[in-house]
Structure formats: C-alpha cells, structure tokens
C-alpha cells in the first residue's frame, strides 16, 4: 500500500508540479496581508516542541493572522491546548493520506507556510500543490523540493535548534527575537491537572507511596544509541532508594518499553519485603497524560529524547545525559539554573549514530556521576 500511495503521489506531483509560478522574493512578503499561516514540524515530539517558540513568535509578529500547526498525528494531543495555534493538522507520514492532507491544506487558504525541518519532502510538496503563495523552510537538504520553495534558510551549526527555527522568522521579517521569552517552549499543563493525575494514580495503586520526592527515569530514547544502559538505571535507583525512605522512582518509557521497565524495576527492588517505591509507567501511559505525569515530578533523569523536552518546557528540573548527540543543538535552552547536563565526548569518529551496530557509548556516563548530580539537585530543592 505504501508503494502504491507513493507512486500515485509522485505521478500527481510530476503532473501538477510542472506548472510555472512566479515565486515571491522575501523582500516582497507583506506581513499586513498575511491572514492564515501553516506552520509545519511533522517529525518527532522533541522537534515539534522545540518549534513552539517559533510558532509563538509568529503569533506576535503577525497578530492578525491565524496559525495552524501540522504535526505527527500520534503526537497531536500534546499541542491541542497551545494558545498560539488555531487548528492542529495531523500528518501520518510514509505517504499515508496525502491527498486528504492536500485537500485539508487547500481549504485553509494559507498565505504563508513555515516548515521547521528539512527531513521530509511531503509537507513542502503538499503546500506547493495547494498553491500556498509563499513557502519558507529551514535547511538545504533534499534538493528535489528546492523549486517549490520561496526561500531556504541554512542551519547555523553552532546554534541551538530553537535559534535555528527562529532564524526562519528573522530572515522573513527582519526581527531580532533575542529575549529569554522568545526561547521558551510552550506546553500548557495546569497544576491541578498534574495533582489530579497523581492523586488518581496513587489511589489506584492502593500503596502507601511517599509523596514528597518523585524522581522520574526516562529509560529509553527514540533511538537506542541515545539510551543510557538499563543496568545503570537499576543501580542508580537502588542507591537512591537506599539513601532515603522519602523517595519514589517513576519509570517512563514509550510503547514497547514494558519489558525494559519491568527489568529495571526488578533490578531496583532487590529486597522482597521492601516497601514498594518504584512505579513503572513504561509503555503504560497514554501520551495525552504524559505532561501531567512529568509535571508532578521533582526531578527527571533522562536521555536526549521527547519526554526530556516536555520536562524542560514544563520547568521540571532535569539531569540529561548526552554522548552521541550535540548538547549545543538539543540541550536545555531555558531555565538553565534548574537543569544539569552530563556529557561525554564521542569516542568514535565519525559517529554513526542511528546506523551504529554497537551503541554503547552512553555507558561512558557512570552511575556515580549521575548519583552525585541527583544528590546535588535534591539538596537545592525546597520540599513541602
């Protein structure tokens, strides 16, 4: 089915894409005439969250325009309450439902399309076929879509990805966007929502868990090469529970992480009569409830992956672990005083990242180093 969808889309693109159109240069883009904007960040959770500062900035620059946001369908629940967004447009990837997507874009009567990544050509192709008059995209990857773009903004390798996305707006509208508020991710979650989640969870478990310190472990990552070893998480949890009876360990992971979570939980709880203080949510938590769950934590120990960015957006203290991915691109970029990054230099050059057959470089970060960082972070917090 994917091949048929792809073939049909390619034929349609070739047929309609041959039409010659005048491409408006940047200096002729008039902000006062823009009424509907389509913003696109249709890759991972982290990418979509890291694009929300640019979406908010677009709202400020174009106060009379409405902004719709195209994100992966399975992540769309995270953005439903974003005050800067009028409508979420779901994207299904792998050439699924592209003709339906095209009709949806056409009905939006968009004046401007802002694409905040360059890793998938389909959103640009759909925007062009829907006759959006001005399409801007970051990055120069994939020359096949270059004819459909009015402007391509190159990545600044030294800059954080939030800055890279803001560069799109700086190029189009000649604005600075250099205040701390310009760099804040947007993910509204009420305190009451988090409290309700935790009250319901703890009551449902029927156990007398301590409630004053909740330490979350993000035990997996979107790619295995970014994940701290399972045994390290078990050993860290064991040491933290031995230190204090007022600590709970909460395990987080995505679909398919149930077995990993079970193994880590068993590794932490080694004494059979020990009061259970490990809550394993790995693979069991709907994405819609993940922000409320993270907002109820006191500290989040995490790989470089989507839930890490959720925690940063929610101003939850983090200890993030980096080896193969660059901190300068995806590390914390707001509220730096509450975040600790533990990084090690990449042992291999070139680093193969997702193509690595033996991804063990994250083991360079020791349990002791993370343990000491946790102790420091908890000592700086005031608990009620």
Q: Convert the pLDDT of each residue in 72-92 to its tens digit.
A: 999 999 999 999 999 999 999
At 350 the pLDDT is 85
Coil vs helix vs strand at 336: helix
Quick: pLDDT tens for 120-169.
889 999 999 999 999 999 987 777 788 899 999 999 999 999 999 999 99
Least confident of 96-105, 138-147, 168-177, 365-374: 138-147
- Model pLDDT, residue 384: 47
The number of residues in the chain equals 384
Q: Which domains are present in the chain?
A: 2-183 (3.40.50.2000), 191-378 (3.40.50.2000)
Model pLDDT for residues 190-234, shown as the tens digit of each residue: 999 999 999 999 888 766 565 679 999 999 998 889 999 999 999
- Asked whether the beta carbons of 256 and 227 are under 8 A apart, the reply is no
pLDDT of residue 270: 65
Do strands 112-115 and 135-138 pair parallel, antiparallel, or not at all (unpaired)?
parallel
Q: How many angstroms separate the Cα of 228 from the Cα of each of 142, 260, 321?
A: 32, 12, 8
Give the integer Cα–Cα distance in Å for 202 and 368.
30
* pTM summary value: 0.94
Task: Give the model's pLDDT for residue 207.
Answer: 63
Q: List the structure tokens of 134.
A: 């001005």
What's the pLDDT score for residue 276? 72
pLDDT of residue 360: 87
**Overall average pLDDT of the 15-38 stretch:** 83
Band of pLDDT at residue 246, cut at 50, 70 and 90:
confident
What gap in Å lies between CA 149 and CA 167, rounded to an integer? 16
SS3 category, 117 = coil
Sign of the CA dihedral with 22 first, then 26, 28, and 31 last: positive
The three-state secondary structure class of 234 is helix
Core vs surface per residue 320-335: b (16+ CB within 10 A) or e? bbbbbbbeebbbbbbb
Going 54 to 55 to 56 to 61, the CA torsion angle's sign is positive
Report pLDDT digits (tens) over 250-268.
999 999 999 999 999 999 9
């Amino acid at each position: 089915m994917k091949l048929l969808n792809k073939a049909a889309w390619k034929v349609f693109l070739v047929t309609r894409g041959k039409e010659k159109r005048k491409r408006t240069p940047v200096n002729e883009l008039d902000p006062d005439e823009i009424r509907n904007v389509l913003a696109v960040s249709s890759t991972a959770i982290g990418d979509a969250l890291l694009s929300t500062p640019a979406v908010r900035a677009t709202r400020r620059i174009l106060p009379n325009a409405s902004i719709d946001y195209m994100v992966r369908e399975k992540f769309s629940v995270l953005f439903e309450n974003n005050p800067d967004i009028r409508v979420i447009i779901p994207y299904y990837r792998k050439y699924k439902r592209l003709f339906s997507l095209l009709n949806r874009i056409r009905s939006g009567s968009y004046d401007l399309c802002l694409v905040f990544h360059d890793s998938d050509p389909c959103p640009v192709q759909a925007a062009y076929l829907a006759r959006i008059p001005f399409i801007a995209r970051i990055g120069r990857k994939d020359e096949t879509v270059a004819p459909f773009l009015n402007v391509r903004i190159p990545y600044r390798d030294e800059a954080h990805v939030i800055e890279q996305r803001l560069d799109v707006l700086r190029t189009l509208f000649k604005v600075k966007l250099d205040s701390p508020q310009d760099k804040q991710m947007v993910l509204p979650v009420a305190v009451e929502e988090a409290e309700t989640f935790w009250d319901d969870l703890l009551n449902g478990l029927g156990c007398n868990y301590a409630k004053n310190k909740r330490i979350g472990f993000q035990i997996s990552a979107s790619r295995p090469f970014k994940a701290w070893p399972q045994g390290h998480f078990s050993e860290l949890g064991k040491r933290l529970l031995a230190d204090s009876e007022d600590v709970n360990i909460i395990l987080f992971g995505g679909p398919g992480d149930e077995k990993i979570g079970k193994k880590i939980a068993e590794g932490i709880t080694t004494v059979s009569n020990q009061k259970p203080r490990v809550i394993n949510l790995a693979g069991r938590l709907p994405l819609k409830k993940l922000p409320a769950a993270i907002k109820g934590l006191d500290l989040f120990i995490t790989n470089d992956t989507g839930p890490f960015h959720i925690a940063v957006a929610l101003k939850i203290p983090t200890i993030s672990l980096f080896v193969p991915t660059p901190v300068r691109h995806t590390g914390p970029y707001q509220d730096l005083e509450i975040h600790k990054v533990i990084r090690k230099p990449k042992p291999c050059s070139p680093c193969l990242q997702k193509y690595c057959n033996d991804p063990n470089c994250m083991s360079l970060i020791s349990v002791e180093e993370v343990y000491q960082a946790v102790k420091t972070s908890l000592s700086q917090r005031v608990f009620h």
